Amino acid sequence: VFSMDGDVAPLKDICNLAEKYDAHVFIDECHATGFFGATGRGTIEHCDVHGRVAIINSTLGKALGGATGGYTTGYQEVVDILRQRSRPYLFSNTVAPSVVGASLKVFEMLQDGNAGLVDKVRANTHVFRNRLTEAGFELRGDYDHPIAPVMLGDARLAAEFAQEMLSRDIYVVGFSYPVVPMGLARIRTQMSAAHTMEDIDRATDAFIEVGKKLGVI
């Protein structure tokens, strides 16, 4: 998943090519682990490629609630090499026990089939995307992914839009060049299971009000 757009790589096609040419697939799941896919198992689950990805790199700092740390899974030989040669692993402080405990608990919840929070993130995402799209906004990214960038194009417009939203007590951030390509400035939003329908209604109402004021819709 690309963090700025919320779009998903064609992982099944990539795995097909890797198998055709005897290659190994490595993916970064930092914007998928714990909340994307039917039960929160990430892009591999979303694209139905279980057992076809050799190395997975991800974070404990987003949906797993740890705020710091990360992990790599893969073949035992790969893990052994990383333990001996990976500089970030060798020269970083260990992850705090509280972070490890919290992250293990989230993994346990996902393995036990507790997908209620995952379902809520997806439902919130659909409501947000549907309402803004129907209002006339252009949103990028996969329909199921909670990263939902609202495209504005102009950098100054994105900054002004974010300020107008803040004046309505909705905090959003405008992204523009060089963080994203020139001419593709946007408000990058992300849905959460903690958002209520009232929260989403309030946010979308503000988007529509500001969008009309600034001539976006």
Active site residues: 3, 31, 62
The burial class, CB within 10 Å (0-12 / 13-18 / 19+), for 188 is buried
Q: How many CA atoms are closer than 13 Å to the CA of 75, on its beta-carbon side?
A: 9
Contact 84, 77 (CB under 8 A): no
Beta strands in the chain (DSSP E): 26-28, 55-59, 70-73, 138-139, 147-153, 173-175, 185-190
Amino acid sitting at position 7: D
Cβ of 107: how many Cβ atoms within 10 Å? 14
Contact 179, 144 (CB under 8 A): no
